[in-house]
Amino acid sequence: MTAALALGDDALVLSHRLGEWAGHAPVLEEEVALANIALDLLGQARVLLSLVGDEDELAYLREERAFRNVQLVEQPNGDFAHTITRQLYFSTYQRLLYERLASGDGPFAELAAKAVKEVAYHQDHAEHWTLRLGDGTEESRARMQRATDALWRFTGELFEPVEGIDIDWTALDGDWLESVSAVLERATLTPPAGPRSGAWAAGAGRQGVHTEPFGRMLAEMQHLHRSHPGASW
């Protein structure tokens, strides 16, 4: 299922990125919060990938070009502001998408209905930190503005139609833009004016084209499994 692979890969890759904060988060409480979000996403990924095939093989034995995640989720953590901005952009999209899927009777309705509450928490967490950092010190605001600008060009790909998901993608895009812009403005940040789609924007992850950092991340994620094929715990 094309859609299950796309949504599963989104969740899997972002889960790994957030897991990279273990031992490195700015405060212990935030390390726990990011780890919990990562585990939520990993749980979603396992359900979605199991609809396609063996979840371990799909996660650990596919080559880079076989992954169908959007390029946004594979972007490096950067500083804490960068991670929070990436999470704000993605969790807002994911909540709006899951709400639509949960209200229908398609193959993802049950998963979406269960996951939408945890995704709403992910969004609330990201919004809280966006407001705290954006309306904080001069340094924190500058870092948040740089992050919102840098990641903006990756957001257009979120709303490219995915085979197997029958929703109004244009309306989803509009709702996302309204929600994210409102949060940025409340945080005294300027919503980026750069392109989100087209020649100057990023986005071909759904077609298996990924950015350079993804290859390094994938090698790290798959190293243990590939080094000990067939091993069991």
pLDDT digits (tens, 9 = 90+) for 9-24: 999 999 999 999 888 8
Tell me which of 233 and 153 has the higher pLDDT: 153
Average pLDDT of the chain to the nearest whole number = 93
Nearest to 9 by CA among 61, 66, 82, 54: 66
CB atoms within 10 A of CB 128: 14
Query: Residue 25 has what pLDDT?
Result: 74
Query: Residue 196 has what pLDDT?
Result: 84
CATH number (3.40.30.10, 3.40.50.620, 1.20.1260.10, 1.10.10.60) of 2-227 reads 1.20.1260.10
Nearest to 116 by CA among 9, 44, 47: 44
Instruction: Answer whether 151's CB lies under 8 Å from 86's CB.
Output: yes
d(CA 80, CA 181): 20
Query: Residue 49 has what pLDDT?
Result: 97
Query: Residue 225 has what pLDDT?
Result: 86
**Residues in Cβ contact with 171 at an 8 Å cutoff, skipping those fewer than 6 apart:** none
Query: Residue 198 has what pLDDT?
Result: 67
* Per-residue confidence band for 233, with pLDDT thresholds at 50, 70 and 90: low
**Residues in Cβ contact with 137 at an 8 Å cutoff, skipping those fewer than 6 apart:** none
Q: Give me the torsion for CA of 214, 219, 224, 229, rounded to 10°.
A: 110
At 84, list the tokens: 């929070």
Q: pLDDT for 29-40, tens place per residue?
A: 888 899 999 999
Helix 80-102, helix 2-19: angle, nearest 10? 150
**Residues in Cβ contact with 9 at an 8 Å cutoff, skipping those fewer than 6 apart:** 45, 49, 67, 68, 69
CB atoms within 10 A of CB 138: 7
Examine the pLDDT at 200 and tell me if it is beyond 90. no
At 131, list the tokens: 């407001």
Query: Residue 229 has what pLDDT?
Result: 84
d(CA 63, CA 194): 32
Instruction: Answer whether 179's CB lies under 8 Å from 96's CB.
Output: yes
